[in-house]
Each structure stands twice: as C-alpha cells, then as structure tokens.
Structure 1
C-alpha cells in the first residue's frame, strides 16, 4: 500500500541517549538493544478516520520512531490497515456506499492527515486485502496441525478458531478484568455453542466447504480474524523479534492479548508493549460509536495550523488519558507564536537545549517536559542574537518533534 512522503529531517549534531519506555504489561522499562529497532503498531479500520484519538496514537509512535532514529537505531516499522472487517461492512451498508469505495476514501483521508501532521510513514503499510493469501495459508496450517478448529453454523458456513486455554490469559496485567464480558463487548462471541474455550479467537470467518473466499465479491460474508492479521503481518515484515508492539489502550484486551497467543504459535517474541491513553470529548471517550469525534481534517479546515494540532497532542504524555477542548489548541497557538519569535531573533544555548530535550524524550518519551524546557529557553532568549542557535533550534523542532516553525 502506498503510504505518504517522508518529512524533511535535518541532521542534528551528536546523538540521543538510549530510549527507555514503560511496558504496559509489566510496568518495567524496556529498551531496544539495537542496531535495529522493530515496531509494529495496530492500524486503522478505515471508516471515520482520522479523529484526535487516532492522531494521538500515531503521533506518539512517530515520536518513538524519531527518538530511536536520533539515538542511532535503524528503525523498521510495520502497520496494518484492516480494510476487510465487519464494522467497515456495517458502515458501508448503513450509508449505502460500496465498502471498497468507503475504505479507499478513508485510507486516503488518513494518508493525508498523517502527511499533514508530519508523521514519519511506516516502512511497511500493509492492507489486509493485499495479505489474504499468507493469512489463508497460516490458518490452513493451524487447522492441519490441530491448533485451530471449526464451528459450523446453520447456513453451512464454518468459522475457525484458534484453540487457547486459561494459561494464555493468566498475565498479571489482566488481573481484575472480566475477560469474557470485555471480549463480548468488543466483537467477540464467548457464548457461541461449539467453542472449546469462550476466549478462543476467530482466525477465519465464513468458510464454505473448503473454500475460504467462496463469495469473493461479498467479503462481508467471510473475513480473516483481526488478531491473527496483526500477528502474521508483524512476523512477516519484522521477523521473529519485535521491540515494541503498540496501539491504543483500548486494544490491550482482547486484541493485543489474543495477538500474543498467535505470536506464541508463530514463535514471535515481543520485547515490550506500549498502549497510548484515551482521548475524550464532552465527557466520553472519543469514538465512532458515540459520534463525538473531533477530526484532524476538520480542525485544519477551521483554520488551525497542522503544527498547532500536533503540538497540542505532544502536550500530553503518550500513556495519559485526557479530554480535548479548544483550549488545547489555543495554548499551542500561543506556544507557536513565542517559539517563532525566538527562532527569528536568535537563541543562545541551543546546544544545551537540544541535550535537555533529548534527555526528556529518552525518559519514557516525556514530551510535556520537553515542551516546558523549550518554553523556558524561548522566554530567556526572546531578545537574544544567535543565528546559529536559532537554526539549531529550528532543526531540532523538525527532526525531534515534527514541528515546522
């Protein structure tokens, strides 16, 4: 799948320290040992893209990529597009739009929004519709090995499930969660008769006889499983060791935990997991189902600079939950004005600022602390005259923060 252009990234002097980030599952700090760093981030299901919740997640992982690159790592980054999935087909039917047309229009909007926000594109951006053959092969292998089994419905179609056990869901970070309830609320079918374990994830839906795609013109009748998509794409594009698996915190369970059961089957090791915070609006989590979406494209149409939107997102820690108001953008606009004034007048001590910003970012991607350091430097240098310092400051903003003054 065609992604979007790589933004201009000026070279910076020196090198960032090794980044450490907190693993969602264990609470411990993890690092990428290098010389390569492999990142997999769960991508969009292309309808109603891109709201600020999406943008917060993808800008956060963009920051991870930037800091890894600045520390000298070669970054390999894969991201999927779930363009064959039930919610997409349901939305297409509700709006009387062809599902492929809907998916393509939303993929293009997401592509445009990511370019607008100066997000570094994935090394591999993989649409599930382009990955069906490897998925089918993997599912057939699971069936042949006895690790997947079928449950046939009244219509004669068979859904195949990956066989799991209680031990697969015994991780400490899941303690206290009603797993069956949450699974059922997020597209699962824990009470379906014929399943061996209520939490067994589906790996392929709607097989007719031995034909996995019996009605190719109507993919809503069949589809591969969401969790195995991410597991197989990540392995095939990144290899058997992934430094960070990422996504929003709403994906911790069931999606990423069930992806982990497939990873185990595929002999994939994940060193760390990062899950970004939830963005709310008007008192509720920003979501398609509630309709309380604040779209990046609409904010830009209202006259907010893309950099202002990005800066508002960076003002929150990647793992924090927060609520959006227009005050977020007003604060970011004031910051941009102050920083631009310093860039034009010149700034002494820019080298020291660069090292301070690098230190904050290396400490669990603490973007709010980095922005505060820049605020203090800009205020102190409002009337300075150091053109080389101003240029270094400008380059730092572009390369490390994705901010183009």
Structure 2
C-alpha cells in the first residue's frame, strides 16, 4: 500500500484548499446572515449558489463519483483527502462541490442501478446541481437499525405501485429544491427471504399523497444547509411501475451498496471536522490565560491536543487503507474496514470535539464558534448509516467465525 498522494490528488488538493480559503470559509458568516433574511429557513442562501458556480468553474464538482462518465474520475483513495478538506466546513463545502449527502448516495444508486429513463429524468439534474433529493428508509415505529423491519408497503396495482407508510429523519426533504425521493418499502412482506422483501421506487415529491409533515431537529439544530430532516407520510401514493429501481426484491442489496461508500465519505469528512477542532483548540490555547499562564502551557490542554493529533493520524491511515481496498478489491472486500472506520471515526471525533468545546468554555457551546454544530453532526453519525452496535455485532461475528 502506497498512500503518497499522486500528482492528480496533489493538484486537486491545492485547488480545493485555495477554494476553501478564498471562497468557502469567508462565505460561512455570509450564509448565516442571508439565511436569517430568507422568507423560509429552508431556502438556499444566494452565496451557496455562488459557491456552486465557482466550484463548477474550477472543476471541483461531483468529486465523489469514481467514473468519468458522471464524476471527476477519481478513485476512492484520491477522493479521500479531498473529502477531508470539505469536512472542515461540512455545512457549506460538500454542497458547494455537489458532494453532499444524501444526494451523493442517491446519485450512486441511480448511476449503478437506474435505467436510462431514470438517469435522464433524475440523475442528470442531480449531477448538474439543479435539484436535490432524499432517501426514505428510516421509520419511527420500528427499529430501523435492522432494515428488514421496515413496514412501508409498496403494492402492485396494475401498472402502478401504491406506497403506504411513514418515514422520518429523511435528510434533504425540507429543501424546496428536493424533487425526488428514493423510497424503500416491502413489495413482498411475507417472502421467505427477509432480505428479498424490500424494493426501492422513485417518488416525485409533488406526487399526490406525499406529505412532508414536519422538520426533525438534531440536538436542537434543524440543519438548514443540508435541507433538513423531515417526517414524511406516504398515503396510498401511486407511481408507475417503471419507477422501480432495479428489480423487485433488490432493495436491501441496493441499500447496502449505497451505504458502503456513504460510510467512508462520512468518515473522510469527520477527519476534516477533527482537524478544524484541533486548529480551534490551538488558537484558543495560545490566546487565553488562566491561573497565571496561557492555556497552551497547561498540562491537561497539552494532553488534549497531543491525543487529538495522534487519534487523527490513526484514523486517517485506517480510512486511507479502506479507500485503497475499495479501489482494489471492491466494497465487499473492504467490508471489515468499512465497518471499522464507521465504528472508530465518529466516536473519536466526538471526543475531540468535546475537548475542543471544553477548552472554549461557554464559547464552545455558543453560536460564535462552529464546535457545537460540528459536535451535533459528528454525534449523529454514531447512528446514521447504521448505529455503532450493529457494525460491532457484524464485525465481531466475522472475527469469531474464524474460530467456530
């Protein structure tokens, strides 16, 4: 394994770092000011569209898709350090570069499993950043950590599917530019194979029977920049059978294919969040004095900063190894490592952010620093894309299988 950045990666890193310094970070307070003046908190601030236009102009667009047909043609190993950079401003940079969840996963699903008509109608405008999308799997009435529990029904009625169910924490659904839902439900609820009961269908947001009931908060935040997280009701919603993605019974497998890259993307960005936390810790430590000496000379603060640096370096190597394996042996071959980073990264970054908040005192929990919002985002990722305990269970079984 050689993790030295190749020439393409170095070139893209330099461009992206300059883009962050010259455009993204200065736009952070501007976006907040503009959002406060919008008619709806879910509308997109003008500066975000300006960032998107500049990113496209510079070729910093759709970096996450590995193929050249739809994306920038980067490997996972090449994209990893770029995603880390965007993680330093997770509420602006991924959107500015059209690399924000849940659109990334939805574009991957359409690129891999969609037919030509579906790609033309939905993938192309998503790739162009003209619309947003949502992925509707999680439900409030069941333990959605086990995706076979979902109760939403997708019933065939002639040339249509009829969809009935309730979903929540559907990311992106509050955004007025969200035009399409990918909905996971059961087409064969009594099927013998519980992993073949589910299917995925495309449901345009304006379809009769689709009701976005409310925005769901995350630690008190509504996450405007990502289009929020909504509770959505599907009340006998009818769509053509041509809106089926792949085949009936293929929903569970598609979900697993979607979540693998999504998990590593989250971990890449989390490392960027940790790097920003370390930077803020260091700046705070050298600028504040307590009990007669700078915080930077307090032993406990030095320990926090040293431990954070060690942790980030360890995480980065594990994520890079995972990216390399995904490129060389595929997502299935990297299954253990994908689960390992999904367990380790959010947990460790939450701890780093917690120390950074502590170092900032009251300022750490305020709106004057990004730490509280970063903490909420990182802590949520201990649940999103499968809670830690599910990955631990699976990983332990794989390890124990060698001895049973």
Fold conserved between structures, TM > 0.5: no
TM-score of the superposed pair, with normalisation by structure 1: 0.22
Larger proportion of helix: 2
Rg larger in structure: 1
TM-score (norm 2): 0.22
Q: Which has the higher contact order (CA 8 A, sep 6+)?
A: 1
